[in-house]
Amino acid sequence: MNKGKLIVFSAPSGSGKTTIVRHLLKQEELGLEFSISATSRAPRGEEVDGKDYYFLSFEDFKQKIKNDEFLEWEEVYRDNFYGTLKSEVERIWAKGKHVIFDIDVSGGLRIKRKFPEDTLAIFVKPPSIDELKIRLKKRKTESEDKINMRVSKASAELATAPLFDKIVINKDLDVALEEAYNLVSNFIKE
């Protein structure tokens, strides 16, 4: 099989990584396709199975772990499992595309470790923890409790930034989008 590249975006919640990933997916010349993760959590709002996630029951998820079907998996929040299926990467490579991931810090680093040469691991950094808190509050999607949980997790995640290949600071979104575009574009040309 013709192997494509792997582009990992990881960041604390509220850093803007999803916005960056969505922007890059629209740039057809990059030839990227989104890696749809599997999760044991229930769908939220408008989420669609097979588009946003592969929604699995807890039992199915465990079975797939046993069968060694995951490239990486993680219990990101308590009782909520998330993981990248090997079949997902194969599906995208078979189409001649590069895989782009929006996953948590540990999952991102695990992919980098498995495919060191073919992976570009990018960490998206908020300008500060205070700014992150403000953004999460503005988003109004999480309760005060959940925001505090995500902010305390963010401090630990920020400490892993130096382990990534590149860091993009999302202070001004347009600048961050351009930086991310250039990094990805140069990497897939290598």
Is residue 160 within 8 Å of residue 167, measured between CB atoms? Answer: no
Query: How far is it, in rounded angstroms, from Cα 123 to Cα 41?
Result: 25
Single out the residue of 4, 14, 83, 126 in contact with ligand 5GP (rule: CB under 6 A): 83
Distance in Å, CB of 29 to ligand 5GP, minimum: 26
Binding status of residue 9 toward ligand 5GP by CB under 6 A: no
Query: How far is it, in rounded angstroms, from Cα 182 to Cα 157?
Result: 24
Q: Which stretch in 60-68, 78-86, 89-97, 181-189 sits in contact with ligand 5GP by CB under 6 A?
A: 78-86
Nearer to ligand 5GP, 26 or 44 (CB): 44
User: 24 is written with which tokens?
Assistant: 């890059």
Single out the residue of 7, 8, 30, 84 in contact with ligand 5GP (rule: CB under 6 A): 84
Taking each helix axis from N to C terminus, what angle separates 17-26 and 173-189, rounded to the nearest 10 degrees? 50
Binding status of residue 33 toward ligand 5GP by CB under 6 A: no
Query: How far is it, in rounded angstroms, from Cα 34 to Cα 36?
Result: 6
Cβ contacts of 178 within 8 Å, gap of 6 or more: none
Binding status of residue 16 toward ligand 5GP by CB under 6 A: no
Binding status of residue 179 toward ligand 5GP by CB under 6 A: no
Q: Interface mask (CB under 6 A) for ligand 5GP, residues 110-139, using x and -?
A: ------------------------------
Per the document, the length of the chain is 190
**What is the pairing mode between strands 37-39 and 80-85?**
antiparallel
Q: Please give the residue ranges that form the binding site for ligand 5GP (CB under 6 A).
A: 13, 37, 41, 72, 74, 76, 82-84, 102-104, 107
